[in-house]
Amino acid sequence: MTTEHPVETPQRHPPPEPAQPAAPVLLVMNHNRDPLSELCAALSRSGYAVQVADSLAQSHRMAGERRPDLVVLNPLVLCAGGVELELLEGLQREDDPVPVILLVDDLQALGEARAMRIPFRDFVLKPAQTAECLHRVELALLTRSRVRGLQVRARQLESQVSMDFKTGLSSELYMKRILGLEWKRAQRHQNPLSLLLVDVDNFKGVNDSTEYAFGDEVLRRVADALKANVRETDYAGRFGGDEFCLLLPQTSPAEAVHTALRIRQRIAGMVVSSGSYQRQVTVSIGVDCYDGRSASTIEHLRRNANRALQEAKRRGKNQVWLYSGSESAPQQA
C-alpha cells in the first residue's frame, strides 16, 4: 500500500512595498494662543505631521527634539532681537533653511514684520483662512525643496571647481580662497602660517622631448609626493603648469623648511617611467612664513615665497630657499 504525501507548494511572498517618505513636520508655535484647532486639523488631514506649542518653552523643547520642516508662528510679542526670532534663527542652516509662515494682526504689523530679518518667511493676516494657509505651506515646502536641491548641485559644482583634474590636488581658485581664510585665522589667533611654492625643474624640456601624456604623469607623481609629505591639516594645490603650492597652518619657518627639504629629497630620488620615456625629476622650493604678529599682507607672503623660489632656481635648482629679504630682484619676463 502506497501512501501519498501531499507536495508542498512554496509560498510566494509579495515584494516589499517601497518605504513611504516621512511626512513633513510642521511646528505651529501658537504663542498668542489663538483658536487654531481648525487649521491644525486641516494640516493633519493634508498629510503633515503637526506639532503644536502654546508657549516659548514648549517650542524650544519640540524644536530641540525634532527639527521641523516648516514653522507657523503666531507670536506673542514680535520685536527685533526678541526671543521668538532668536528661536527661529537658531533653526536655520545655510544649506537647509526652515521656512516660516508668520501670522500677523493687521497691515501695520505686516509692515513691521517685513522690515525684520525673519529668515525665509511668508505672512498671513489674521484671522487665518485655512485654505490660504494650506496653500502657503505647500508653496513654502516646495521652495525649500528647490533650495536644498540647488545647494546640493552647488556643492557638486564647487567640488569640481575645487579640484585639479590632472593631479587630484586642490585647484588654484580653491587654494586662493583657502589662503585668504587661513591668513585671517592666523592673524586672529596670532599663529604662524607658512607658504611653500614648488616648481618642477626643467619641465618645459620634459614636454619638449617627450609626449604631453608623460608630462602629465610627472605632475601626478610630484603631486603624490606632496600629498604623502604633508599633514591632514595642510593644503596642497596646483597653481597651473608645473607649479604647486603648499599651505601649512601653525607652522614655524624651521618646520616649514624641514617639510620642504623632505619633499625635495623624496622627489629627487624618484624616477618617472612611462612607456618608452624615463626621467629623474627634481623640484625647487621657495618658502616664506608669517609669524602671526607682524604687520604684513597675504600678497607679501605670496610675493616673498615666489622670490625665494626664484632664488632657489638661480642657485642651481633642486634647492630649498627660505625668504630672507636679501634675494636678488626677480627677473622680468
95 is catalytic: no
The β-bridge relationship of strands 70-74 and 25-30 is parallel
Give the Cα separation of 170 and 240 in Å (integer).
11
283-290 sheet: strands from edge to edge: 235-238, 243-249, 193-200, 283-290, 320-322
User: In sequence order, what are the residues at sequence separation of 6 or more whose Cβ sits closer than 8 angstroms to the Cβ of residue 74?
Assistant: 28, 29, 30, 31, 32, 33, 34, 36, 103, 126
Q: Rounded CA gap, 321 and 331, in Å?
A: 17
Q: Which of 304, 309, 278, 280 lies closest to 291 in space, CA to CA?
A: 304
Q: Quick one: DSSP state of residue 66? A: S
Q: Quote the CA–CA distance of 203 and 177 in Å, as a whole number.
A: 27
Q: Which among 200, 251, 204 has a CA at the least distance from the CA of 226?
A: 200
Which alpha helices (DSSP H) does the chain contain, by range? 37-45, 56-65, 83-91, 107-115, 130-161, 172-189, 203-209, 212-228, 253-268, 298-314
| Residue 73 vs residues 51, 109, 126, 138, 286: alpha-carbon distances, Å | 12, 14, 12, 16, 59
Rounded Cα distance between 318 and 199, Å, is 9
Give the angle subtended at the CA of 173 by the CAs of 170 and 177, to the nearest 5°: 90
- Which position among 34, 242, 288, 291 bears the catalytic label? 242
* Residue located via cell numbers 604684513: 296
What residues are labeled active site? Answer: 242
